[in-house]
């Protein structure tokens, strides 16, 4: 089984936590042989980021489509910074998602070496807790999750680890 990032937009269909939870339960009920690892939604309920564990992307996309989910992106990803069992427990709180479109010249090995070398610099911004990253296996982008007091703190943390930001999304935390 592989991990897949699925991005979708709600297009105003849902605008509160209760309706969002109902929609997620409905989607889960329609998915057989697919594990929902985590789901994060933007604070304004416009964008949803799913991580699924599935055999392959085509079947996943078909099952999501049958559930009424229009996908903007489905990509195989690698989890970095946490073990999958830890993420499944959903014990940590995240409230910011940073997306970075990885430059073409960076391979997975280069990315992992860079991350290992630079991660010690998160200590320079103690008010921010880095949680985990999902790196697309095709090396096009990564999603990094943080718990931080505000967007400026996230930006300072990214500067400390010398990693760019293409977008920051505030997550609707529990």
Question: Which residue did the predictor score with more confidence, 34 or 140?
Answer: 140
Strand partners, 100: 142
Q: Indicate the pLDDT class of residue 174, thresholds 50, 70 and 90.
A: low
Which tokens in the block code for residue 170?
């505030």
pTM: 0.91
Residue 52 C-beta-side C-alpha neighbours within 13 Å:
27
Question: Which residue did the predictor score with more confidence, 10 or 22?
Answer: 22
Residue range(s) defining the domain that contains residue 11: 2-170
Q: What is the pLDDT of residue 91?
A: 64
Q: In this structure, what CATH number is given to the domain that contains residue 150? A: 3.30.70.3090
Least confident span in 57-66, 69-78, 108-117, 146-155: 57-66
**What one-character DSSP code corresponds to residue 161?**
T
Go through 87-101 and write b for each residue having 16 or more CB atoms within 10 A of its CB, e for each that does not: beeeeeebbbbbebe
* pLDDT tens track for 107-141: 999 999 999 999 999 999 999 999 999 999 999 99
- The C-alpha atoms of residue 23 and residue 26 are separated, in whole angstroms, by 5
User: In the chain, how many domains are there?
Assistant: 1
């Amino acid at each position: 089984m592989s991990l897949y990032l699925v991005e979708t937009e709600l297009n105003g269909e849902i605008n509160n936590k209760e309706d969002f939870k109902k929609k997620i339960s409905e989607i889960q009920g329609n998915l057989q042989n697919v594990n929902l690892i985590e789901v994060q939604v933007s604070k304004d309920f416009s964008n949803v980021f799913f991580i699924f564990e599935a055999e392959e992307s085509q079947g996943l996309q078909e099952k999501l489509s049958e559930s009424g989910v229009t996908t903007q992106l489905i990509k195989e990803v690698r989890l970095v910074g946490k073990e999958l069992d830890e993420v499944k427990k959903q014990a940590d709180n995240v409230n910011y998602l940073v997306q970075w479109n990885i430059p073409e010249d960076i391979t997975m090995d280069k990315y992992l070496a860079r991350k290992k070398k630079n991660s010690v610099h998160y200590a320079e911004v103690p008010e921010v807790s880095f949680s985990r990253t999902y790196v697309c296996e095709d090396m096009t982008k990564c999603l990094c999750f943080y718990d931080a007091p505000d967007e400026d703190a996230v930006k300072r943390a990214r500067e400390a680890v010398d990693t760019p930001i293409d977008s920051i999304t505030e997550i609707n935390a529990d």
